[in-house]
Amino acid sequence: MSSKKGKRKTGSAKEPSKLAKKYEDLSDKEWVELAAKGTLAWRKDLISSPKMARALLTTDAAALQTQLEGMMKLTDTHCNILDAALLDIYTHVIWKAREAQLNVLQTSAFFSLVVELINNIREKQMPLSENMEYFKQAMRTHSVMAPWDGVSSIPDFDLRTISIVTEHIKTTIFQHYALYFHVLSQPFEPETVPFQLSYRTPIVPPPLSEAVPLPEMKANNPAFAHAASATQHNGADDSASHHHDDASERASPTPSRTSPHLAASIQPIAEE
């Protein structure tokens, strides 16, 4: 008689839950791997890595502009008004991200979004209403209305970042849209105006090591001593004259409000 051994059912082992992570604990590799699908961050030719974002957020103002000029290929920010305007826009984005303490992914996404809005003006001459709609759609796609949970993909903009990015773009690009449109959508050709400037090369002053003390100069040069004495005398005369004028003004009686000629012409009117 054969007996069948019953198979014991074993419950399926539960997968261990992922531990929630924090922004400050992420490595550069995790910043890239955990970014949401279709993220605005890490775009090629823009802020393409966490290392680059960190460098922009921690450098001083002069070095920041130098780095942005190279990254965005702005070759003439001193004479070309278009390059100067773009450098100003991009610098303010990084500075805002630094002030608001955005992380490296949020900074990269913020920068990419501003570049897209600017390119809509430069390349497509997009009117304000269409560019605002483009911005709204981008924010819906790349934002979540909650803080990051530490497990799922990292959104470009979380609840705190949405208001920061929206307020900045509203008060810069959209508020001055006509100005940006005029500067960015018009071709710019610098005008060179030649002119000649004549000047004389100044005489090199004698070295101070050859200077002579003033008492010795007066003793050895009577003409110099006489000129210095005359200057002091004239200064004393001017001072005395000034004090005399002040004294005369104080001593003179206060003039009457009615001149003598006017007083003489005013006669009482006889009653008829």
Give residue-wise pLDDT tens across range 213-250: 888 877 877 776 676 676 666 655 555 555 555 555 55
Q: Is the pTM of this model over 0.85?
A: no
Mean pLDDT along residues 15-44: 88
| Res 241: pLDDT | 58
Q: How far apart are the first and last CA of the chain?
A: 165
Q: Does position 97 have pLDDT exceeding 70, yes or no? A: yes
- Indicate the DSSP class of residue 197: -
- To the nearest 10°, the Cα dihedral for 78, 80, 83, 85? 80
Q: What is the pLDDT of residues 120-152, one digit of tens each?
A: 999 999 999 999 999 999 999 999 999 999 999
Taking alpha carbons only, the member of 89, 23, 85, 19 closest to residue 50 is 23
Given a cut of 80, is residue 6 above it in pLDDT?
Answer: no
Query: pLDDT-derived band of residue 257, with 50, 70 and 90 as boundaries?
Result: very low
**Residue 205: predicted pLDDT:** 86
Determine the pLDDT at residue 208: 83
In this prediction, residue 244 carries a pLDDT of: 55
